Structure 1
């Protein structure tokens, strides 16, 4: 806390003054005698208090200098990179149990409110991050096996040396997959082997087959892209992301905060089977060009889970009203004055001013000032403008506090009059989720607004702790690092790997041994020109395809860290991060190689931003 750091400076200043007082006593013994100063002691209590007062004033000055002018650096960060100062709320993967009597899929939108069991009398509030299509389907068995393959004959899988078999059945024994109309199924890869299984399925699938059973003579053959990665699309963000912030930073933040959110896979094109003829049971065979004998023994039915989505410790909160008495240039935003230790502001969403006639006038964020807003303000159509500042708490609990900095429409901070501001914010429960029990069916979860399609909720992963970037510590240098990234190449040259590792360190909010090892495992980054095909369009407005020039990027990783650390997810995140840097009429195509090993460990299609070029 700020008070603790100030105490350090105070003790340092006081010690320096006492040393100087001792030197003064040796040089001027007569004057020192009147002050009752000696080399080792200060006997006069008034002189002692005077030294302590001077030490306190000096400590405040030194503390401000050591802060590196946070009003400037934090202010710039809050405008340019507002996501960087906000805490990373707790995240957990939750399974929704489907009602077995559902006649079809139940669509659960993202943002559903979920409450966890109380901790110390306080309830943790979460909300779902992904939209969820809940099917009355269960996984009967999962088996990963090597040669000889126990799978239907597949001419498209000549290179396969292993196969993953997923056996599904309808929860209702009288229902068939054709009646359900199953077309897409999302699965979560659970447990300690989830990241390795993810790599196996997304990087080494050569074909997929849908069959009624193993002896099925007419399986439906599907291409490798039947399995799709999840968690990278803008609508799959864990947290609301400001439009003015680069979306690639979101992926890095989420990787270090909750890597499990990327351990989902969508199995697509299932209607190729269900639209034809599918009974109460169906098998999915995934043909793989790589075998993992140790993984074969670990994979079982519980390795895959249906009906899962991340939940995030975020909730909407009407904050305490603020009375604009013009006695301060800033006002603390208090989400709940009764529970300051368990509610923390994540972001200010809306500020409105109460008018005498009972109506409200909306205030605008200062950084959104445009010509239109300025005209509206001049006409009196809107209220004032406001900024926000985030600082460490001064109480007995960890976290941050948000302050509102109001300005009137004419930018006159000394205007007469007063008003009351109503503030809507997104909040989290500080460090409370880390105290939730995990295991044995706990923590207990419930939907705030019940849904007939859901019979129960359970946590598959322990809620992560609330993570925070240091607001004061090294803020100046972190800002410089962000700004300098625009002038460094992260895809070529001698400094490419250093620049990319620096980006990763900026967003390593855990700073754990595991995360540092993952960053160090990125050894080299090289790039070169490449060419990719652009598909044409059919139907109205048809046009022919063509070719596009872009950049081929090769990421080199340490082979041991890749095998033991599950770095495929990090490489996938970097693939999307680099693709979002692609310029107009260009693309980025990424591959990962391992030091000392021949061949390519993983590769991804050419991308222009979020768009895949076929």
Structure 2
């Protein structure tokens, strides 16, 4: 640890940084000049009760970002199509301010992957794909499938904050002026797709606008004709972002999502439009999950 530096790059092996990628941090301990741990750090975004959090004052927070190519990699290219990510750790107190310490170094227990090394495995090119360290009555070990393409881990704090923001979506979020309504829906959709899937990310960005206006329709309930107030929600998407799959399926799912956000004694009527074709489909009024009084 160096004074004046509040964020530290986490490396599993400094001599081979490209062969290991940090998947998760299990334990963090601070050491002084000796070999005895002086301070145990807990995850700042850990799922513990507030009383537990208030009794402790030493925490660590993680930040993950895509790995930047080195000068040599930019000149000759990376050794594979997967570059991976890097993890940075900061020590904070209970107020998320920099943690005051007299520590010299940190010791960590990490979950690591081999980054892109599985992509270089010569699967099926020799008499066996794996060998035993101590030997045994095994002639060959074959890899039936895979290895799959590596993926970067997700920091726990980012995931939990995104899940919490998901709870804020309601019909008022859809009434926001400008692109704020579409932004809320896009942020919600990012929780349900692989962040490394470029096609899914492109489809999420293809949700361009969401507009709403109050309407009056006959409510689809048994008995005498009953009319009520609701929202007409116009979803505008870009056809180019859904090439090969179409936008109808996503809009059909969002129609039910919008209905779940309807207020008491209300409904939603979803209209799908695209930048190229204007109005594509208009679904009938859909009651929400709340009971009709």
TM-score normalised by structure 1 residue count: 0.27
Relative contact order (C-alpha < 8 Å, sep 6+): which is higher? 1
TM-score normalised by structure 2 residue count: 0.46
